[in-house]
Amino acid sequence: MNKASSSDANGQENERESRFSSMQQPELEALAVSAILEHRRLIAADEAVYEEWTRASGDPSVSGAVLKSLQDEYVARQNKSEAQQEVLSEIIDALGYIPEVAPDGEE
């Protein structure tokens, strides 16, 4: 492992931690709940695009350009979800626990 890369990564991690660690617990918990709900929405949207892409892949009447577009959309969504999941993880690390969040559609 490159020592400079390691210290750069630790510096970035400490920067992120300090951003969230300065927040009060109720505010941090509300942020975590919001991030969890956003994560659920992103996953649902990703699944819809993936299902459309796989359905279109089996349809010989769908052009290669459309398939490429669906694939690109899916990959872009996966990248966005990954970035959001990293932020969610940092928030939960700062909070110290995973707050309870009702399943979608329930109060």
From CA 26, how far away is CA 47, in angstroms rounded? Answer: 32
3-class secondary structure, 61: coil
Say if residues 84 and 38 touch (Cβ distance below 8 Å): yes
pLDDT tens, the chain, 107 aa long: 333 333 444 545 555 445 887 889 999 999 999 999 999 999 999 999 999 999 999 999 999 999 999 999 999 999 999 999 999 999 999 999 999 998 865 55
User: To which residue do tokens 């996953």 refer?
Assistant: 43
Q: Phi/psi zone of residue 105: left (φ > 0), alpha (ψ -120 to 50 degrees), beta?
A: left
Structure tokens at 76: 């872009």
Q: Please, are residues 17 and 93 in contact by the beta-carbon 8 Å criterion?
A: yes
Closest CA to 53 of 42, 39, 68: 68
pTM: 0.74
d(CA 43, CA 40): 5
